[in-house]
Amino acid sequence: MLNSPPRAAARRKTDAVVRSGAVLAAAGGMVTAFGLPAAQAAPIAPVVSVPAAKKVAPAALVSPAALGPVKASYGVIGVKAVAKPKPKPKPVVTAAVSALTASRTAPAAASRTTTTRSSAPATTNAPAPSNPEPTVPANGGVLSIAAALSGIPYVYGGSTPAGFDCSGFTMYIFAKVGVSLPRTAAAQQAAATPVSNPQPGDLVFFGYPAYHMGIYAGNGMMYDSPRTGLSSGLRAIWSSSVTYGRP
């Protein structure tokens, strides 16, 4: 009986599918399956091992049923247990180590204590004045006091050991022996009793009214505070135009 055209076409299509989906047997016993179209091919099993007795010749066309029962091998995932590490042993402090540590820390603690104590501000006395008053003899006369006040720089208008002018020098010295004198040279000249035979301790006046003065020390010498740039002290009476007075 002749096949009808539809059936002949279907048969040819089936033969083509069978040929394209044939399984090739490899020499090592492994079988590779080519995928069939999703609508006609059966599910393909995972890679399988073919028993030695079932091996077929290379390039032979076989059907899956001819291979017989096969065993799928998926492998085994290995897990290796790891033991938890043991904690490190704590160091044992011996008596010798403790003694050594104590001997090292003791000096450091003592040093810190010493530093703390030494850093405390030391009690200091009040600073001495920049121009202390010279020591004046308790029972001395005006010449002794004048000698003790020598070396003090001249200061215009000065009347203390910080600095003297001429009349401030004589006024300060006589105040030490209880005699009060006016402030200026001319005023002291007017208040003094004139003398022609001066004695040590009398006043010496330059000019009239006086523009300068000092304390007569005898033998043509006097104590005075002369001018800017010089200091009080003993010096010669440089002029013959002088007068003397006794407070």
Q: List residues with catalytic annotation.
A: 166, 212, 224
- The values of phi and psi at residue 18, to 5°, are -65, -45
E strand or H helix at 24, and its extent?
strand 23-25
Please state, in angstroms and rounded to a whole number, the distance separating the CA atoms of residues 58 and 52.
14
- Within a 10 A sphere around the Cβ of 132, how many other Cβ atoms? 9
| 227 Cα distance to chain centroid | 55
Residue 82 is given by DSSP the state: -
Q: How is 50-79 classified by DSSP, letter by letter?
A: PPGGG---TT-EE-GGGG----B-------
Q: How is 107-125 classified by DSSP, letter by letter?
A: HHHHHHHHHHHHHSPPP-P
Query: In sequence order, which ranges of the chain are alpha helices (DSSP H)?
Result: 5-20, 95-119, 142-148, 166-176, 185-191
Residue with tokens 């208040």: 191
Q: Which residues pair with 224 in a beta bridge?
A: 233
